[in-house]
Structure 1
Amino acid sequence: MKEQDLFYLLALQRIEGVGDIMAKKLLTHFGTAEAVFNTKASQLAAIDGVGAVLLKNLRDKSVFEKATQELEFIKANEINAVYFLDEEYPERLKHCIDGPLLLFASGIINLKNRRIISIVGTRQITSYGTEFCRKLIEDLAPLDPIIVSGFAYGVDIVAHQLAMEHNLQTIGVVAHGLNQIYPKTHKKYVSKVEQNGGFMTEFWSSSNPDKENFVKRNRIVAGMAEATIVIESAERGGSLITANMANDYNRDVFAVPGRVTDKYSQGCNNLIKTQKANVLTSAADLIYILNWDIQKETKPVQKQLFVSLDEDEQKVYDYLLKTGKELMDIIALRCDFPIYKISGMLLNMELKGVIRPLPGKLFEAI
């Protein structure tokens, strides 16, 4: 990204009343953040949600000074600022309407064509949770997934450590700027994490690990992954918020069952009981539901002859022939169709016998 483009994006972020959704709306209409600042008030006012207060805020020149300071921090510390339309931006997070406009990253992160799972849970992890996590990551290691978590106490740091033990890429999504580490006792892991992945955040260097930031952080953990796994959780906890966000984003959620008398199994058991999560008893459950079993052979299916596809259906079919298995929301993005239209189209194509659904909300051409 050009430095000038980043400067204006940072300035746009500092405008009071401009969140991620509004920023994307403005950028969609005007193309660049610089253009937003240079657009006449009458044109801005025509955008839904832009009222008198926001118009006034968009003329606040003090945001440029703040943007300059943050840009200097980014350059001085070799932070990678990733725009939500950039190739390096997490693909699945692009489909979350409230996904961050910018992500700031450190380390060596490569998300391209990779399986990504988030592992979350209580900060008071038990020996049962630790051993389950150990076995899970050990069994998943041959499939080389990226392990995402929040770098907190308990399940988070155990997941990061086990990922590194098996030479898997791991990403810590933090609730503060990259000029600090929370909790401070985890500073000893920073260098190794950055050698085996790195850190991501949406927060500026001026942001501290305030309570509300952790909830915002959780949507990144949920949104960037193919699936979210809850290892252990009490009846209430931040990991349950992450699981609910993953459900809202139409992601698969898994929970490890435990004894009904165990405090840190109550949250997982409730997720399973209310059908908000799949039961996870081993890596095999996740591999099957996400269709990760690369050794599995499927019998070829004879394609129906002389099927009539309309122009839009043909576009989707050709895309699936070229790419193989793909998620519905990514099909919608790549073929430039709204999600409500693609769901009906895929159903019609399935009935015509030219595509088939797979576990993990995937589709493939027959």
Structure 2
Amino acid sequence: MNYSDQVYQIALHKLNGIGIMRAKHILSRMPLNDFFQLNKNTLRSVTGFSLSFLNKLNFKDALNSAEIEVNQLNKNKVSFSFYDNDSYPNRLKNCSDPPLILYHYGNGKLSPKKTVAIVGSRNASITGKKITKNLVNELSSHNITIVSGLAY
């Protein structure tokens, strides 16, 4: 089945064992759709990854999950920038361990002058969620870009 670039990008992000270093390695050697379509022996020879590692990657589940996520993102008007997209901020590309994907809602300018990053737990308390909601509402009214890892 042919998927959109967005589905392949999110699917790569969903694969256990694929972080930014392996993702860069893959992207430097082949188009992303090839990574999901080539057989494991070919992938081994092209990427140098071990066959045991490649066999642990569940492409089907990652692609199915990514397709659902892309539909949800579109439905909620949320966009994202993948590491090798032109819209991905250069300042982050130069970090040693940048995120593979940046999600954004609203204005997609990812190199603004006024930026606040919100970092937190995926298991936030009720109080933490209330504080975050109030903080985000206040900051957004002052034309400040809010960066979050979507933990909230």
**Shared fold by TM > 0.5?**
yes
Q: Residue type matched to 1:100 in 2?
A: P
Please state if 1:171 is matched with 2:103: no
Q: Which residue does the alignment assign to 1:52?
A: 51
**Distance of aligned partners of 1:28 and 1:201 in 2 relative to their CA distance in 1, 3 Å threshold:** farther
2:86 is paired with a residue of what secondary structure? coil
Question: For the Cα contact (< 8 Å) 2:73–2:79, is it kept in 1?
Answer: yes
Q: Which residue does the alignment assign to 2:76?
A: 77
1:56 is paired with a residue of what secondary structure? helix
Distance 1:173 1:109 in 2: 17
Q: Residue type matched to 1:93 in 2?
A: L
1:30 is paired with a residue of what secondary structure? coil
Could you list the runs of 4 or more consecutive aligned residues of structure 1 that deviate by over 4 angstroms after TM superposition? none
Q: Percent identity?
A: 25
1:63-74 paired onto structure 2 within 5 Å: 63-74=62-73
Q: Residue type matched to 2:88 in 1?
A: Y
Which residue, 121, 137, 151 being the options, matches 1:191? 137
Distance 1:106 1:9 in 2: 18
2:4 is paired with a residue of what secondary structure? helix
Q: Which residue does the alignment assign to 1:15?
A: 15
Q: Residue type matched to 2:5 in 1?
A: D
Question: For the Cα contact (< 8 Å) 1:106–1:198, is it kept in 2?
Answer: no
> What TM-score do you get using the length of structure 1 for normalisation?
0.35
Question: For the Cα contact (< 8 Å) 1:170–1:193, is it kept in 2?
Answer: no
Greater Cα radius of gyration, structure 1 or 2: 1
Residue deviations 1:101-140, cap 9 Å, x none? 111122435345x6xxxxxxxxxxxxxxxxxxxxxxxxxx
Q: Which residue does the alignment assign to 1:108?
A: 107
Distance 1:28 1:79 in 2: 27
Q: Which residue does the alignment assign to 1:35?
A: 34
Return 5+ residue gaps in structure 1 as ranges. 115-145, 147-168, 210-366
> What TM-score do you get using the length of structure 2 for normalisation?
0.76
Distance 2:145 2:121 in 1: 14
Q: Residue type matched to 1:36 in 2?
A: F
Which residue, 189, 200, 213 being the options, matches 2:147? 200
Distance 1:89 1:54 in 2: 28
Q: Residue type matched to 2:132 in 1?
A: H
Question: For the Cα contact (< 8 Å) 1:107–1:198, is it kept in 2?
Answer: no
Q: How far is the alpha carbon of 1:200 from its aligned partner?
A: 2.8
Distance 1:23 1:42 in 2: 18
**Distance of aligned partners of 1:72 and 1:17 in 2 relative to their CA distance in 1, 3 Å threshold:** same
Distance 1:192 1:107 in 2: 16
Residue deviations 1:70-113, cap 9 Å, x none? 2122112211201123333221111124211111122435345x
Question: For the Cα contact (< 8 Å) 1:84–1:94, is it kept in 2?
Answer: yes
Moved more, 99-108 or 52-61: 52-61
Q: Which residue does the alignment assign to 1:328?
A: none
**Distance of aligned partners of 1:16 and 1:90 in 2 relative to their CA distance in 1, 3 Å threshold:** same
Task: Choose between structure 1 and 2 for higher RCO, CA contacts under 8 A separated by at least 6 residues.
Answer: 2
1:35 is paired with a residue of what secondary structure? helix
Question: For the Cα contact (< 8 Å) 1:83–1:103, is it kept in 2?
Answer: yes
1:285-364 paired onto structure 2 within 5 Å: none
Return 5+ residue gaps in structure 2 as ranges. none
2:85 is paired with a residue of what secondary structure? coil
**Distance of aligned partners of 1:11 and 1:63 in 2 relative to their CA distance in 1, 3 Å threshold:** same
Q: How far is the alpha carbon of 1:38 from its aligned partner?
A: 1.0
Distance 1:30 1:185 in 2: 44
**Distance of aligned partners of 1:57 and 1:202 in 2 relative to their CA distance in 1, 3 Å threshold:** farther
Q: How far is the alpha carbon of 1:192 from its aligned partner?
A: 4.1
Moved more, 3-12 or 56-65: 56-65
